[in-house]
Amino acid sequence: MSGLAGYRGEALALLEEAGLSVGDLIKVETSDASFEGYLMPRYELADPLHIVIKLKNGYNVGISVKKIRSIVKLAEGEKPKYTPPPPPKLNTNLPKVLILGTGGTIASRIDYRTGAVHPALTAEDLHASVPEISEVAQVDAEVLFSIFSENLRAEHWCKIAEHIHTSLQKGYSGVVVTHGTDTMGYTAAALSFALRGVPIPVVLVGAQRSSDRPSSDAATNLLAATLVASKAPFSGVYVAMHAGLSDDVIAIHHGASVRKNHTSRRDAFQSINRKPVAYVKDGVIQQIDPNLPPRRAPQHDFKPAARFEERVALLKFHPNFDPTIIDYLVDKGFRGLVLEGTGLGHVGHYCYNPIKRAVDKGVLVGMSSQCIWGRVRMTVYDTGRDLLNMGVLPLDTLFPEVALVKMMWVLGNTDTLEEAKKLMLTDLVGEFTQRLHAEEQRGF
């Protein structure tokens, strides 16, 4: 790792001239402010006009090099000569769990206090950060990739699914997938379908706060995810994240029913149209949903179906929505469209002709609701009935993100439109909710 990792252009020149390295404690004076903090490394595609420092309050700031009047080193940083922590003592009576790194705040091995970058997620690192993990499982760690989750695509979902399939042969009792929270809900849905019938628990986990923040949720989430992967009596794909603002309860969400509903809160993830399937509290798994598939032996006969059609779009309807976007995508060869309609599943009548044309051209068109919660019901009003008559599929309790992922999966795994339509409306992994419970659940 270079001393100025990720910097380029004017920013790199400025830092080189000042003799600085990532990790140095520096003081920066700009035309309108003064900052003290640790010089941070940059990731991917960094712009050449800003430097980033971590303030003592834990926040990062980007500072325009155009505004910098002076920049001085206050103290030498710990240089990124990374010495791995010693291997933990393994309790060989515990189940084996694979922790698979894909990126995100939770797997970040940057030591923000020093700026030192530890690009790999090793079992030793994990044990060093969260020693309690050794009490619930024998952990192996692998980094599959290290990507901001907004950059993940269907090809990554396939790689994760295939890697988990391969790992099953090694006898893991469960797999934990560390993931950026931005698109963790999409990936959880994708793995739910791709790994349908997986014999062990696969638990996605993220962190809303990086591990150097006092309020970090990284360790508690990871520990709960590892516990579920190791010992839960059920199999399938789940997401483990804080259930509320307190530190002690982690919700285990059904992988095809979970959504990120807050930009920053630790309890941002919520089960939609259902409760979490379980909670983890005080090291104990409390199962709420009695209908989960049971855990089976990891080598149980199982084949993933890790194929996704990429030519599927999610289109959110709104007043003055331009319906020619539908024509544009159909002409471009898209095979599926999920509409995010209003209310029970409606769009303005000015969208009728493009939708009819899409259906006539053999495009699979499904309707979900931007309300997020509740059920699409297109038989109540004329707009809904008109759309049904055109051949638009009412996607019931599938909220838009899961509807999109399911359609990508269905079109990737079927040969005919009729088969695809049938699968879209079939409950494959518990993604549909039969009865919406009337009692309140928590929101924001």
Between CA 326 and CA 322 the distance in angstroms is 8
Nearer to a second copy, 415 or 440 (CB): 440
- The residue from 54, 96, 260, 406 that is catalytic is 260
207: exposed, middle or buried (C-beta count within 10 Å: 0-12, 13-18, 19+)?
buried
Catalytic residue at 182?
A: yes
Decide if residue 363 touches a second copy (CB under 8 A): no
- The site string for a second copy over 52-81 (x = CB under 8 A, - otherwise) reads x------xxxx-------------------
Catalytic residue at 105?
A: yes
By residue count, the chain amounts to 444
Decide if residue 200 touches a second copy (CB under 8 A): no
Between CA 129 and CA 61 the distance in angstroms is 25
Q: How many residues bind a second copy (CB under 8 A)?
A: 98
Neighbours of 106 (CB within 10 A): 28
Q: Which of residues 397-426 bind a second copy (CB under 8 A)?
A: 400-401, 404-405, 408
Decide if residue 102 touches a second copy (CB under 8 A): no
Q: Which of residues 80-99 bind a second copy (CB under 8 A)?
A: none
| Burial per residue of 66-102, b for 16 or more beta-carbon CB atoms within 10 angstroms, e otherwise | eebeebeeeeebeebeeeeeeebeeeeebbbbbbbbb
Decide if residue 440 touches a second copy (CB under 8 A): yes
Between CA 326 and CA 331 the distance in angstroms is 9
Decide if residue 117 touches a second copy (CB under 8 A): no
Q: Which of residues 154-193 bind a second copy (CB under 8 A)?
A: 154, 157, 180-183, 186-187
Among 18, 49, 94, 288, binds a second copy (CB under 8 A): 49
Catalytic residue at 260?
A: yes
Residue at 247: amino acid letter: D
| Burial per residue of 221-232, b for 16 or more beta-carbon CB atoms within 10 angstroms, e otherwise | bbbbbbbbbbbb
Nearer to a second copy, 186 or 432 (CB): 186
3-state DSSP assignment of residue 224: helix
Q: Which of residues 267-296 bind a second copy (CB under 8 A)?
A: 268, 270, 272-273
Nearer to a second copy, 197 or 348 (CB): 348
CB of 329 to a second copy, least distance (A): 7
Angle in degrees, CA 379, 381, 384, rounded to 5: 60
Catalytic residues: 105, 181-182, 260
